Chain A
Amino acid sequence: DAGVTQSPTHLIKTRGQQVTLRCSPISGHKSVSWYQQVLGQGPQFIFQYYEKEERGRGNFPDRFSARQFPNYSSELNVNALLLGDSALYLCASSLVGPPSNQPQHFGDGTRLSIL
């Protein structure tokens, strides 16, 4: 079975631009979460979606937004990019909706570089 897939793998943008990252969960998983991992740190929670509704939001500015589609795939949008947005963006899916102790399974991430 395919794992969590994310696209693109790498992305280079300049300050002020906008970016869209995409994620397809494991088949049957209805919950998708997004994390930002800055170099040398642990991942930080951005959003969680379940059944197309936002179920949680981390401490990120309004420049960050996301949505989940009827097929449970998800997009993360970041507007007005800053140098500090350079990071690995990880998508994770889980089998059942919140609250749950099911493990979140992560994709390989999108490495975003801002010039």
Chain B
Amino acid sequence: AQKITQTQPGMFVQEKEAVTLDCTYDTSDPSYGLFWYKQPSSGEMIFLIYQGSYDQQNATEGRYSLNFQKARKSANLVISASQLGDSAMYFCAMRERLTGGGNKLTFGTGTQLKVEL
């Protein structure tokens, strides 16, 4: 079974600074995808960035970038120039293929990020 580990329950960062949220994963499937989602206190899950296991370059989306180190099985999220609105829970997730032909996301336990003035 696949596993996602997020070892930082909470992180603080000052506004305009960069922050790295850690994620390590474990899978025996050579084909997988890694996702990061943001969940504000209101509850909705917002897709941020995706990295495929065969992608050669690290994914970037605006202020978000994914530091993908395949050999170390890590997929850390880097947020540059933090803003107060970035305060939220962040989840790392991995796509897992199912025997019925479907796929599911396996989530980590999340990291609560707080951006301070």
Contact = CB atoms under 8 A, between A and B. Distances in A.
A binds B: yes
A105 B47 contact: yes
Contacts of B97: 98-99
| Size range of the chain B interface in the assembly | 20 to 34
B28 to A, nearest CB: 16
A106 interface: yes
B42 interface: yes
Nearest to A48: B102
Contacts of A42: 4, 91, 93, 107-110
A75 B95 CA distance: 23
Contacts of B46: 106
Grouping DSSP codes into helix (H, G, I), strand (E, B) and loop, the B interface class, with mixed when no group exceeds half, is strand
Contact of A48 (B98, B106, B108, B109): B98
A83 to B, nearest CB: 20
B101 A106 contact: no
Grouping DSSP codes into helix (H, G, I), strand (E, B) and loop, the A interface class, with mixed when no group exceeds half, is strand
Interface in A63-92: 88, 90, 92
| Size range of the chain A interface in the assembly | 20 to 34
Contacts of A44: 107
A101 B50 contact: yes
B104 A33 contact: yes
Contacts of A98: 97-98, 101-103
